[in-house]
Amino acid sequence: MSYKEKVITLEQALSMIKSDMNIVTGLGAAEAQLIMNHIHTIAKDVKNVTITNCLSMASGEFLQEEYVDAFNIDGWFFSPPLRKAHKHGNVSFIPNHLHLAGWKRLAHVKPDLYVGSASMPDEHGFVSLSTSNTYEAMMIEAADVVILEINPNYPRTFGDVEIHVSEIDHFIEADYKVPSLPDVEPNEKDLKIGAYIAELINDGDTLQLGIGGIPNAVASALKGKKDLGIHTEMMTSGMVELIECGAVTGKKKTLHKGKHVATFALGNQKLYDFIDNNPSVMILNGKYVNDP
């Protein structure tokens, strides 16, 4: 079947969700926003549906107490909405090392349904998983049914993220903006910590940075360094600034020399514009990038 023959509506996708199903969705911006923002509308028709997510960016309506009989939520990242809903008794935190999250999930039970987001198909029929391949490709391969929300606003990235439309069961055509994180301005304490950390980093070192004021302060303090590299769980907005100012080149890396390697990207629109069709950025599987 062609891509167009596989396109379905949101309502058709939701109708495929049945009681006792196990659903996995993508990490962060790779989450299926349309499905997850509307899944609560089928609560009266289902029971005991398990949703596994990580760093969810959806509205979280399905986390409301009135839906506890319909949905169980397993969270690989215990975000504020999950912590708030934990008191309802249907939310569980699943401790994990990120490089093992997908593998351990499959060892326990494979997903009946995977839902995520992707870029538009190219002229050869390949979509890109775009912002994340932390565990997404593993779940796509293992799931009984796969639904991807195809979105022209999602960046086309390279690495382990290209999948042919023939390997996907259904597509929903979407047009929402890529979920983003607000830029967090470092406070005075963050800046002092960032400056201290920057003193410990030498020219040619390889970086991993995370979310928040301190990582942003570190990135800002590193702009005077030379030939830094990136091999990171999360590609951040601050890393783009380091690349653009010339502090990060990847020239001294011994693995993927000259490439900026991450397992997912989450930040501002400038980050998404930077990684779009950028061959210097590699989004690789979390079991590889984060393998100690």
- How many Å apart are CA 96 and CA 104, to the nearest integer? 9
- Would the CA dihedral through 167, 171, 174, 177 be positive or negative? negative
- Distance in angstroms (rounded) separating the CA atoms of residues 156 and 35: 21
- Cα 250 to Cα 117: distance, rounded to the nearest angstrom: 29
Helix (H, G, I), strand (E, B) or coil at 53: strand
Return the residue matching tokens 């005075």: 188
* Residue 233 bears catalytic tag: yes
N- to C-terminal Cα separation, the chain? 41
Under a CB-based contact definition with an 8 Å cutoff, are residues 242 and 218 in contact?
Answer: no
Q: Are 118 and 127 in contact (CB under 8 A)?
A: yes
List, in sequence order, every beta strand (DSSP E) within 151-277.
158-159, 162-164, 170-173, 206-207, 229-235, 260-265
**Which of 149, 233, 241, 244 is flagged as catalytic?**
233
Q: Which residues are marked as active site?
A: 233
